[in-house]
Amino acid sequence: MVLQLGKYEIVNPIALGPMAGVTDLAFRTVCAQLGANITVTEMVSSRALVYKDKKSAALLKKNEGSLCGAQIFGNDPDVMAEGARLALEISGCDFLDINMGCPMPKIANSGDGCGLMRTPALAGDILSAVVKAVDVPVTVKCRLGWDKSSINVLDFAKRMEDNGAAMVTVHGRTRSMLYSGVADWDMITKVKSCLQIPVLANGDIVDGQTACKCLKRTGADGIMIGRASFGDPWIFAEVKAALEGQDGYQRPALKDRIALAVHQFELSEKDHGEHVACLEARKHFAWYLRGVKHSSFYKNQISSVSTMEDIYRIAKDIVRDLK
């Protein structure tokens, strides 16, 4: 399976979904090392970029090891066009992704993210403006619609194609579902059948088996994995193996998983500095320990780490005490 995105060819596309507060440079780098061959930055406000907000610009760092996109959001065509130019200038990313799927009330209720699915004509104008403003492929991430009474993804996705989208990623839930319930892969199948451009399927892909099942059912050109990667970047290696026909992928031993977690936090320290790296480690480190028996004692310690030495000490103790 080969996906064509502009001048790029990606074999067996496995994307790490953009997630605010999660997919920073360090985590994207680790996931890319393990098989995520498409990554996308955390979403950044186009208006914040135009206003020269340094914190927003700092999120737009291209990772190595994968095709990397910069994701922006907003609801003004002119501002989005300028934001897209700035995002690419800052990041040097390979493509530009527009967030039309974020369900969070702060974003969607302001007409951004999934809010744009309620104003498809405006969404089309935004996409058209961005496509004209940049010289890289422009992609769109969306949902099925605002709620179950207004599922409009088929018309919406076709409008995106008509306005120049190079690829569409569809999360098989509505905005009102947030991340609950079951993703509707059959609607993604219908989206794929009505578009000529590539389609990535997103939602309820939690291992190699579900990845293969999703691709078989939807006919999608690739998959995107989000929350299932929390503390488990090896899911990309498992999915990669499954797509290549290999069964029985095994996670590394705990000591090797902890070593990778520490490596991620070291990358984070290099990017953000020790203070922010430790704040990030408080959630990511706990995720790495999900399912590990008798780890609650260490999770409590992790919740208050403030130095890299704390991280090294806890990592050493976990490897000594747990299996």
Which residue numbers are catalytic? 102
Token look-up 């990606």 returns: 10
The DSSP symbol for 183 reads -
Cα–Cα distance between 85 and 75 in angstroms, integer?
16
Neighbours of 305 (CB within 10 A): 20
User: Cβ distance 101 to 142 under 8 Å?
Assistant: yes
HEC readout, 240-274: HHHHCCCCCCCCCCHHHHHHHHHHHHHHHHHHHCH
How far is the CA of 189 from the CAs of 60, 87, 171, 233, 307, in angstroms? 32, 32, 12, 27, 48
Cα–Cα distance between 60 and 98 in angstroms, integer?
14
Q: What is the dihedral of CA 251, 210, 232, 236, to 10 degrees?
A: 80
Strands (DSSP E) found in 160-300: 167-171, 199-202, 222-225
Neighbours of 149 (CB within 10 A): 8
Least Cα distance to 280 among 300, 267, 260, 265 occurs for 265
